[in-house]
Structure 1
Amino acid sequence: MHNGRLFTLVGGIFGLIGLVLLGVTIALAVSTASFLASAQRTDGTVVELTARTSTTRTQDGYTRRSTTWFPTVEFTVDGRQYSFHSSTGSNPPAYTKGEAVPVAYDPDNPSDARIASFWSAFLAPLITGGLGLVFTPVGTILFLRGRRLAQR
């Protein structure tokens, strides 16, 4: 395959992936901002930290294990207790058992709740946005370079 065509193909794929990631970023950010705008706030307590361990194999054949800690939070609305497992985990744990955390919940469905911190709310859009901001210009540069090489 001619170098120009290869650059054009790879650049097009990278650019398309970047644009999709930026679209996902916008959707996630709008959804999160909409939820937070309509959510009620209260305080919750971290009642448990759940460990999830993943195993990967390095290039030199060693096994690497990493553990991520996900908090379980309880809170009370109108005398009724609710709990949820956060979808955002970290290592080391971002919270300790017994720690008070801000909670945002849907007033029509208090079981739909999240930790109301910037990182918990916007980590996913930040990751997809960062990747989109890398893939899109790299793809565009490769695509344009491939087009120039193909024209020669």
Structure 2
Amino acid sequence: MEVAEVQKQYIRELLIKGRKIEAIKYLRTNFDLTLRDAKRLAELIDEDIADDEYIKRPGPFSGGGVAILTIVFGLVGVIMLGVAIHLYTSNRSFVREAEQTVAIVVSNPSQPVFEYEINGQTYTYYSNVESDPPSYSMGEEVPIYVNPSNPNDVLINTFMDRWFLISLLGGMGVIFLGVSMLVFFAARAR
């Protein structure tokens, strides 16, 4: 089998540009070679190419855009997970040391005001969470945790007050970190 100089040069250019698969396909179709023989011939031609002749195509991380995006997504994910873990641990330690009691909604169910009693003294807690429609109704009893050393320090024992922010930040953190890792490994596989 004889390869003309023009054909060899074309194959060489494909290899220099990093298009080895196209070079093998060209050899198979134009010279009726098996895949193994076409690959072997392409590798022989490739051996004659000096390292400095190869055209270095910019990889997905060389331009900076994808790399920066991957790093930013990863950092945002790690920060969100860190905040979620911090909230969970501080929430857990607060509940461990707190006294559990029942508070009663005394006004404005959409941004409720709670009254509760600790050691025979009545306290008022103004919720900073507002909802429409209201989450509570007037006179509703709600379980709460109260810091015994500071009875004004309260944690309402509902999903929205205890777990919603932790779940949201943790879930978003996992998603951001997952996307970052997927993009990173997909870019490396190329």
Give the TM-score, by structure 2 length.
Answer: 0.62
Summarize the Cα distance change of 1:3–1:48 in structure 2 as closer, same or farther, 3 Å threshold: farther
CA contact (8 A) 1:86 1:115 kept: no
Task: Indicate the RMSD between aligned Cα atoms, in angstroms.
Answer: 1.9
Which residue of 2 is the match for residue 7 of structure 1?
66
Q: If you compute each CA radius of gyration, which structure gives the higher value, 1 or 2?
A: 2
Match of 1:74 among 115, 119, 125: 115
Aligned residues: 130
Deviation at 1:147, TM superposition (A): 4.0
Moved more, 78-87 or 16-25: 78-87
Structure with more of its chain in strand, by fraction: 1
Deviation at 1:144, TM superposition (A): 2.7
Deviation at 1:101, TM superposition (A): 0.7
Which residue of 2 is the match for residue 20 of structure 1?
79
Deviation at 1:13, TM superposition (A): 0.8
Gaps of 5+ in 1: 51-68
Instruction: Establish whether residue 105 from structure 1 lines up as the match of residue 146 from structure 2.
Output: yes
User: What is the distance in 2 between the residues matched to 1:20 and 1:81?
Assistant: 39
CA contact (8 A) 1:86 1:114 kept: no
Deviation at 1:148, TM superposition (A): 4.4
Using CA pairs under 8 Å that are at least 6 residues apart, name the structure with larger relative contact order, 1 or 2: 1
User: What is the distance in 1 between the residues matched to 2:160 and 2:92?
Assistant: 13
User: What is the distance in 2 between the residues matched to 1:87 and 1:41?
Assistant: 20
Deviation at 1:140, TM superposition (A): 1.1
Which residue of 1 is the match for residue 137 of structure 2?
96
Partner AA of 2:166 in structure 1: P
Secondary structure of the corresponding residue to residue 70 of structure 1: coil
Structure with more of its chain in helix, by fraction: 2
User: What is the distance in 2 between the residues matched to 1:130 and 1:91?
Assistant: 24
Give the TM-score, by structure 1 length.
Answer: 0.76
Which structure 2 residues correspond to residues 131-142 of structure 1 after superposition, within 5 A? 131-142=172-183
Which residue of 2 is the match for residue 62 of structure 1?
none
